[in-house]
Amino acid sequence: MGRNIFRRRKMRQESTEGESFSAELGTDLDKNLQDLQVMIGSPGDLVIRRVTLGVNVNAAVAFISGLSNKEAIHNDLIKNMQRNREKEAGSDTPDELLKQMQLDLISIGSVENTNSLDKLTIDLLSGKSVVYVDGAAEVLLLGTEKWETRSIDEPISESLIRGPREGFVENLQTNMMLIRRHIRDPNLRFDTNEVGRRSKKKLVVCYMEGIANPDIIKEVNHRLSSIDMDGAMESGYIEQWIEDSYLSPFPQMDNTERPDKVASSVLQGKVGILLDGSPFALIAPITIANAFKSPEDYYDRWLIGTFLRFIRYIGAFITMFLPALYIALVSYHQGMIPSQLAFSIAATREGVPFPAFVEAIIMGITMELLREAGARLPRTIGQTIGIVGGLVIGEAAVSAGIVSPIMVIVVALTAVASFTIPLYSVAISFRLLRFGFMIAAAVLGLYGIVLVYIMINIHIVNLKSMGVPYSTPFAPTFIKDWKDLVLRGPIPMMNERPRNLQPKDKRSGNLRR
C-alpha cells in the first residue's frame, strides 16, 4: 500500500514540472527595480539604495535589511562605489562597468552574475545583495548574508554527562562547520539540495565518499528528489517524507542535536541529512539497536558502556511488558506469582473497584497526561507538575482505593524505565506499544502478550530503513557487528565498520586481535 502512495507522489511531481517561470532582466534600471518590487510586493524590509557611478551612470543596490550584513554593504560596497568615480569613468559600456566593479571595486568575497529575475529574487530573499547598473543586462549578486542566530548551546534534548557540550543550531552553515570540525577529511561530502516549493530551504546530505555504500546514497538522493511540499519547517518533515513505512510505530531515522553523533555515524558509513533552520540532523539508515545506543557509551570505558546498554534493554522490556504482565498475572495466571507475593497483591487489591486492566489503563493514561503536561509547560512549572502528579495523585489514588499500591509501583517503574531509552521517538513508540500489550493481556492473558510480541517481531524483521533491514545485526546476523550491540566492546577492538551497512571501506583501523 505504501509503495502505491509513493508512486502516486512521484507522478504528481512530474506533472507540475515546467510551471516555474524565468523572467529575464531588462537593461532599464527603473524598470528592473519596479519589476523587483512587483515581484516581492515591496515589503518594508527591502532597501533600495541609488548610487551614481563614474560619469553619471545610474546604479542601485538592493538588499533585505534583516538578512544582510549592513556593515559590509556600507563599507565594502557603497563606499567603494562612491569613492572611485574616476576608475568607473574609464569603462565605456555599462556591462564593462559591471565587470570592472566586480574585479576592482567590490571587496566582498562571493560575487555572482545573473540575468534571471527568478534567481535574483530567491537570492535576495536569502540575504544576498543585488547591484544594478543602468543599461547592463546583468546584475551582481553579493554574498552578504548575515542574520541574527542563536549561539551554539548544549543540546537540551540530549545532554550527556561526558561528551562535547555543543549542539546544532538553526543555521545550516554553522551546523556544517560543526561537523567539519570533527572530520577534516577531503572525502567528507556535503551535497546541497533545495527543498520546498515555497520555502526553498537548503538541505545538505552529508556522507563520506569511499566509506558510505553508494547504493544507500543513491537511495537517499532518490527519495529526497521525490519531496514535493510547500515548506519544510523542521527535519521531521523530511524524515516523514522519505521514511520506508509510515505505518510503523518505529522511527526509521535517527534525529540528533549532537554534531559528534552525526560525525561518528558518517564515519561508520551512514548518511546525515541537515536542513537549514532545524537544529535536528537526521541519520539514516538505522536499526533497532540504535534505539539503545547513546554517544556516551563510547565516551566512557567499555564496561560502563556495556552496563548502560544492558540497563537500557532491560528498561525497554519493562516499558513494554510490565503493565501487561501485571494484568496477565493478576487476572489470569495467579498461580505463576510466588505465593507470598500473590497474597499481598490480593490484599492490596481488596476493595479496588476496577479490574486490573482498567486500573492499569487509568494509571497509564494519567502518567502520559503528566508527562505531556510537564513537556508543554515552562520548565520551572513542569517540574512542579511532575511532583504534584507523581506524588500527590498517586498517593491520593491509593488511599482513595481507586488503584492498588502495586499498580502505582508498576506505572512508576514503567515511566522511569521508558526514560532510559536515548532515542526519544523510540521511547514514545515503546510506550504506545505498551497499551497494545495491555489490551492483549486483558483479552488473552500471557498468551496474548506472546502473540503481540510475535507480531511486533515480525514487523521489525520486515521493516527496512533506507533498504537496510531494521533488525540487523540480530537478523540478518552479522556476528562481527555484535561487539557493538548489547555489548560495547573496547575501542581498540572495534576496528571494523558495521557490516550491516556494507561500507566500501570495511576497516577503520589496522590493529588486529
Partner 1 sequence: MLLSKKLNLLLLTMSIFLAGCWDRIDIEERGFVIGTALDLADQKSNEDYEVIMTNQFVIPAGLGSITEGSGGQEAFMNISETGTSLFRTNRKFSQLNSQVPFYQHLKVLLISDEVMKQPNLFSDMMDFYIRDHAMRRSIRLVVAEGEARDILNLKPKNVNVPSMYLDDLMENVDRNTSTIKPVHVGEVQELILNEQSYVLPIVKKAGDQAEYGNVVVINGESNQMVGSLDEEETAGLGFVNGHTEGGVLEIQVDDDLIAIEITEIKQNMNIKNRQKDQLRVGISIDIKGNIAEHFGGRSVLKEQYVNKIEKSAEKKVKELVGNTIEEVQGELNTDVLGIGKTLYKFHYDFWQKIKNDWEKGENYFSSAVIDVNANVEIDRVGSNDRIKMSEGG
- Which one, 186 or 335, has the nearer CB to partner 1? 335
- Quick count: other Cβ atoms within 10 Å of Cβ 1? 7
Tell me if 436 contacts partner 1 by CB under 8 A.
no
Among 335, 479, 510, 511, binds partner 1 (CB under 8 A): 335
Q: Which residues contact 39 (CB under 8 A, 6 or more apart)?
A: 117, 121
Q: How far apart are CA 436 and CA 455, in angstroms?
A: 11
Tell me if 409 contacts partner 1 by CB under 8 A.
no
- Which one, 354 or 478, has the nearer CB to partner 1? 354
Window of 105-113, 127-135, 296-304, 440-448 that interacts with partner 1 by CB under 8 A: 440-448
Task: List the interface residues with partner 1, window 249-278 (CB under 8 A).
Answer: none
Among 334, 383, 384, 477, binds partner 1 (CB under 8 A): 334
Window of 268-276, 294-302, 332-340, 473-481 that interacts with partner 1 by CB under 8 A: 332-340
Among 55, 177, 347, 391, binds partner 1 (CB under 8 A): 347
Return the C-alpha cell found at 352.
Answer: 479496588
Task: List the interface residues with partner 1, window 82-141 (CB under 8 A).
Answer: none
Query: 3-class SS at 205?
Result: strand
* 412 CB-side CA count, 13 A: 14
DSSP 206-243: EEETTTS-HHHHHHHHHHHHT---S--SSHHHHHHHH-
Among 362, 393, 402, 444, binds partner 1 (CB under 8 A): 444
Task: List the interface residues with partner 1, window 13-32 (CB under 8 A).
Answer: none
- Which one, 203 or 328, has the nearer CB to partner 1? 328
Window of 123-131, 261-269, 350-358, 374-382 that interacts with partner 1 by CB under 8 A: 350-358
Window of 116-124, 352-360, 373-381, 505-513 that interacts with partner 1 by CB under 8 A: 352-360
Tell me if 455 contacts partner 1 by CB under 8 A.
no
Among 106, 342, 398, 486, binds partner 1 (CB under 8 A): 342
DSSP 1-58: -HHHHHHHHHHHHHHHTT----PBP-S-HHHHHHHHHHHHT--TTEEEEEEEETTTEE
- Quick count: other Cβ atoms within 10 Å of Cβ 427? 20
Q: How far is CA 303 from the centre of its chain?
A: 30
Strands 271-275 and 254-256: unpaired
Q: Which residues contact 336 (CB under 8 A, 6 or more apart)?
A: 329, 446
Kindly state the smallest distance separating residue 169's Cβ from partner 1, in Å: 48
Among 23, 346, 391, 416, binds partner 1 (CB under 8 A): 346
Tell me if 356 contacts partner 1 by CB under 8 A.
yes
Tell me if 453 contacts partner 1 by CB under 8 A.
no
Q: Identify whether 353 is preceded by a cis peptide bond (ω within 30 of 0).
A: no
Among 349, 431, 488, 497, binds partner 1 (CB under 8 A): 349
Q: Identify whether 503 is preceded by a cis peptide bond (ω within 30 of 0).
A: no
Q: Which residue has the cell 564496561?
A: 303
Please measure the distance between the N-terminal and C-terminal CA atoms of the chain and give it in whole angstroms.
48
Q: How far apart are CA 141 and CA 131, in angstroms?
A: 7
- Which one, 186 or 338, has the nearer CB to partner 1? 338
Tell me if 454 contacts partner 1 by CB under 8 A.
no
Q: How far apart are CA 293 and CA 258, in angstroms?
A: 13
Q: How far apart are CA 303 and CA 486, in angstroms?
A: 12
Q: Which residues of 350-370 are buried (b: 16+ CB within 10 A; e: fewer)?
A: eebeeebbebbbbbbebbbeb
Q: How far apart are CA 241 and CA 180, in angstroms?
A: 27
* 123 CB-side CA count, 13 A: 22
- Which one, 346 or 475, has the nearer CB to partner 1? 346
- Which one, 274 or 440, has the nearer CB to partner 1? 440
Window of 9-17, 137-145, 340-348, 493-501 that interacts with partner 1 by CB under 8 A: 340-348
Window of 164-172, 233-241, 439-447, 483-491 that interacts with partner 1 by CB under 8 A: 439-447
Q: Which residue has the cell 488503584?
A: 403
Kindly state the smallest distance separating residue 361's Cβ from partner 1, in Å: 14
Contact (Cβ atoms closer than 8 angstroms) between residue 201 and residue 194: yes
Kindly state the smallest distance separating residue 434's Cβ from partner 1, in Å: 19
- Which one, 111 or 446, has the nearer CB to partner 1? 446
- Which one, 73 or 345, has the nearer CB to partner 1? 345
Distances (CA, A) of 239 to 204, 341, 370: 13, 47, 28
Kindly state the smallest distance separating residue 248's Cβ from partner 1, in Å: 19
- Which one, 351 or 378, has the nearer CB to partner 1? 351
Q: How many residues form the binding site for partner 1 (CB under 8 A)?
A: 23
Tell me if 331 contacts partner 1 by CB under 8 A.
yes
Tell me if 149 contacts partner 1 by CB under 8 A.
no
Among 330, 385, 397, 449, binds partner 1 (CB under 8 A): 330
Kindly state the smallest distance separating residue 296's Cβ from partner 1, in Å: 38
Which residues make up the interface to partner 1 (CB under 8 A)?
A: 330-332, 334-335, 337, 339, 342-350, 352, 355-356, 442-445
